[in-house]
A and B are shown apart, each in its own frame.
Chain A
């Protein structure tokens, strides 16, 4: 399958600033966002380990701190003795019928411990909701070249083994193997493996035969002056060496940039993988300063893409006007009306002045605006179709986030309208497409737009009348858009969003 990086990258540059998540998303050092029981959960640094949940991955609200569900209401005595009283930077993983939540309990740097909590459900409303103290997993004694904070946990999909990385700028990022049955160290007598330096917030992921170590470089906690960035190396072995794109071992400070400051967000740290399946991968992170929210630290969820064997940080779709081009056909989605050539009709030939020796170029032709051609369009519902893109008004779509309509991990729902009009792309009861004369806010006019791992986009209506299954915008032949179940291995439901 062909990949489409150039077009999408160019498109992203022209987009409006990305929105961070909605609701109570203010947090620092978030864990990996985890989905369980149809909800999303994340945990963060702070007293008692702040906890957050979301029904859709877009709007978040804070729940009671984790430690309130732990006997004694605080880290166990062994953890405090090995580390300290603070509760920082947790990470979480679901293994079998258990959730293992790891958190840092630092004392005076670099004396710190990483504690384990074990739970059966993440839903605070469940009668089974409680966390059991699993004791300290690893620690640093205050002298050695390690600061045992910032746990990151990974289950190796190739063999089911489980691994914990931890550490900070003081000394090494270290790796130990965990027991998937208990969450504790599998070989507590084994010496931890040093895998990186000059970083914190480490976590590993596996993809296509490679283990990737993602860490955070730079400084945190300084608002818009924070230099946090997520960097990475990769290895064929889980124990490293993890080497960056320039061949520099992360034990020597190497690290290819994955995500840095951009748009209105300063300082990016604490990567976490959220794999939603069907070629949709996302990553969670926090920004040190969200300039649109007074510079506070907030959670975000963004697309995770892959290029040339490396993960790439995508951006959630933002408001703008786009050509929506089918990867399958190369044709563009348009409202089914008679198109008018940009600049008006003219006869065949090479064009005015061509071949006549004119030295003065003709004047520019202005872009086509809906006010130039829209008065001839039908007033009622109109079909949608695919056609060669000719920069015409019925081919330009305004994609606009809709307030208070919910969302999905990383984004709100969008309306997709002909630019300059309220004519809205809609799913019909027979799972086809139409362009309604006005946006109503109904589920069939709300669109989920996910960037897939190859950089293309999947567009799905929030709902299709009389249907319960999730359908995606799909191309048939060269001219027919429809709605079908998403097939990850096909280009039929992959689209490019290009700036007109």
Chain B
């Protein structure tokens, strides 16, 4: 297991790292990039969803290079491939890294200022590829009481697979844009306490982002929940 945790907050270090890499010349092709304009570093232990119920705090792994094929079978083959240990169960810390092939990729805890999480901004600011890539994203929502008959509702650019508490609940395929509630799960139950949402988003080219929220039985956003990435403080 190559996952490790850095005391240096990954998010805050993004621009710095890019600049250092550039300055040392170890990867001269990585340009100095401005910070992602729609992403900020988390500053609170929890973050409630926005007024429309969208989850705005995520742990996102730097992109993994893949073929970018978006058909059902190609997406399934891409997702089924093991890239790093416990990829379907891990809830990483901000700054932990994964060894994927020859690359060391870092998890970043980030808040989005919008309803959607702009993966292009995320990767571009890091000097990472944005086309033909796979993003892994994880978040956890803290629920004050068991909630039955809710649905996870997502949108993504482009194809994506989603898991709730380890169970796959949504798959959308093809070259598509992020449409609110584009993919909706069957009725699910949110357990009291922490529930883990995991996404794998594949982009072929151009912009890439995703959004996610829970809907109640009347299709209204579920709001009495909060994102808490970790159950303990460090």
A interface, CB within 8 angstroms of B: 109, 143, 145, 169-171, 197-199, 217-219, 222, 227, 248, 252-255
Contacts and interface: CB of A to CB of B under 8 A. Distances in A.
Nearest to B182: A253
Interface string B45-57: 0000000100000
Nearest to B174: A227
A487 B149 CA distance: 55
Interface string B168-188: 000000111111101000000
A198 B174 contact: no
Contacts of B115: 252
A253 B180 contact: yes
Contacts of B178: 197-198, 253
A173 B182 CA distance: 20
B101 interface: no
A199 B206 CA distance: 12
A143 B36 CA distance: 11
Q: Which of B52, B115, B206 has the largest count of A CB atoms less than 10 A from its CB?
A: B206
A169 B157 contact: yes
A145 B34 CA distance: 13
Contacts of A199: 177
Contacts of A197: 177-178
Contacts of B176: 218-219, 227
Given A198-B157, A219-B175, A253-B155, A169 B206 contact: yes
Contacts of B174: 219, 227
Nearest to B158: A219
A169 B179 contact: no
B155 to A, nearest CB: 6
9 pairs of A and B residues whose beta carbons are closest in the complex:
A198-B177, A219-B175, A253-B179, A170-B207, A253-B180, A169-B207, A170-B206, A169-B206, A252-B180
Interface string B17-35: 0000000000000000010
Interface of A is mostly: loop
Interface of B is mostly: loop
Interface string B100-125: 00000000000000011000100000
Given A169-B157, A169-B207, A253-B155, A217 B177 contact: yes
22 contacts: A109-B206, A169-B157, A170-B206, A170-B207, A197-B177, A197-B178, A198-B157, A198-B177, A198-B178, A199-B177, A218-B175, A218-B177, A219-B174, A227-B175, A227-B176, A248-B180, A253-B116, A253-B177, A253-B179, A253-B182, A253-B211, A255-B179
A241 B86 CA distance: 44
Contacts of B157: 169, 198
Contacts of B120: 170
Q: Which of B155, B174, B175, B211 has the largest count of A CB atoms less than 10 A from its CB?
A: B175
B204 to A, nearest CB: 9
B177 A169 contact: yes
B186 to A, nearest CB: 21
Nearest to A227: B174
A224 B43 CA distance: 48
Contacts of A222: 175
A160 to B, nearest CB: 34
Nearest to B181: A248
Contacts of A198: 157, 177-179
A347 to B, nearest CB: 59
A166 to B, nearest CB: 16
Nearest to B204: A219
Interface string B130-153: 000000000000000000000000
